[in-house]
Amino acid sequence: MFGGVFTRGGADTGDAAWLQAMLDAEAGLARALERAGLAPAGSGAEVTKAAVAADFDVAELGRLSLLTGNPVPGLARALTRKVGGPAARAVHRGAASQDIMDTAAMLLARDALDATRRDLEQAADAAANLAISHGQSLMIGRTLLQQAIPVTFGMVAAGWLAGLDAAIDGLRQVRDFRLAVQFGGAAGTLASLGADGARVKALLAMELALPDPPLPWHTERLRIIDVAAAMARVTAAVGKIARDITLLAQPEVAEVTEVSDGASAGGSAGASAPVSEGAAERGQAAPRRPGPPAPHGNTNPVAAVAVLGCARQVPGLLATLVASAEQEHQRAAGAWHAEWQPYTDVLRLAGSAAAWTRELLGGLRADTARMAANLAAAGGLPLAERVTALLANALGGPQAHDLVATAAARAASSGLPLSDVLLAAPGLEEQLQEAGITAGQLEAALDPAGYLGSSAEFIAAALRAHEARAHDVHSG
């Protein structure tokens, strides 16, 4: 029922995917054993042919796990029966249940990391386009949820872009350097395979296209944590974007609007999102189109809300995985079991948040007129800092600060522009004349376009870094 929101990404982490990953691990082991001369010729092909998740009863495997504490023994027996004959001797030989589960976890992670990265790369490209298009789109900066000095929407989008690119880099690092096959047998020594254990482990890694670690890692859980942490960094990056958008989309602000896939340029997401039958089976929502407004007359930022709904769940799941890393001796009593569901949920939720963010940024509309109107309505107050610096040359720093603070308070209470209040201050005009400061200079100091600091350079730097990263990916 909740799949349309929380299972939107391209990677499948459901029961069938776990089952297939475990079967892939078993099939890879059979092929490795055959290559090592420890299983009859043709065993690998026979086991691989039989290792098809659709031919196994997930519910029955779940019931069997009640007897053994995990689903692998029941799966190994079912696979052995299905293979039959001499080839069946290659099923699960030398392996512990955790070897199969941990290796399956790495296979799932590989697919999830790839799918999440693809969605984030599209989201990052969309953020880059916003940064380019809105480098000069003035808006009020907001600190501590209060109005501050002006920024540009391009600068905001460049900040989003930098976060997305950093999250993508984290996914790549884990994908390239932290995944690994797990194969250690009963206590991490592979004693049942004699002198061939290390060679079979290396062959298994080759069969599954996973790195071969120096030794089994079944009680050293940093790989699991690294996968989850990389995904948590994804939800942190996209959660920041979604939170900004929900705030900017409030009717009293109205500076951005979600435009759904397939919607007209002037539309936005409605209160409900239809799901096609085929998409529902995959746990993915169909492309959204403008829905009816909510009862209060507004349309809701559905994608941004969905991102936040996914992202809020991940920190607690990551904490559980970190806590589960304390594992006793050569096999954990419960801590390993505690990883399965939070690990799966982290992959699913981060992937879903990335997919929602791809849609969110791809269809985001910035209302630059509203941004300018909100800035103008502030009556120059966001430029008080700049005016203080100008007046300090004539009045001295402390006096200029006090004068502008008093004038800003009066402007806020009266609704008058800051410039009018300042020019009405007794004796100020004469002091400005003595210092060579004209009314025109005062007005210029209140022009937000002239107080953007290094915004343009920062946007350009973010775009260069994004282009360089994309070039490295394609050339690599």
pLDDT in tens, 388-402: 998 887 788 898 898
Q: What is the pTM of this model?
A: 0.89
- pLDDT interval class at 197 (50, 70, 90): very high
- The pLDDT score that the predictor gives to residue 434 is 75
- pLDDT interval class at 36 (50, 70, 90): very high
Give the CA dihedral 75, 81, 83, 89, nearest 10 degrees. 90
Comparing 5-14, 27-36, 352-361, which segment has the lowest mean pLDDT? 5-14
CA angle 167, 173, 175 (to 5 degrees): 100
Give the sign of the dihedral formed by CA 392, CA 397, CA 403, CA 409. positive
- pLDDT interval class at 431 (50, 70, 90): confident
- Residue 289, pLDDT > 70, answer no
Q: Which one is the CATH code of 3-10+96-195+206-370: 1.20.200.10, 1.10.10.10, 1.20.1250.20, 3.60.20.10? A: 1.20.200.10
Query: Taking a C-beta distance cutoff of 8 angstroms, is the pair 364, 255 a contact?
Result: no
Helices assigned H by DSSP within 378-423? 384-395, 397-414, 418-423
- pLDDT interval class at 287 (50, 70, 90): very low
| Distance in angstroms (rounded) separating the CA atoms of residues 255 and 368 | 7
- pLDDT interval class at 306 (50, 70, 90): very high
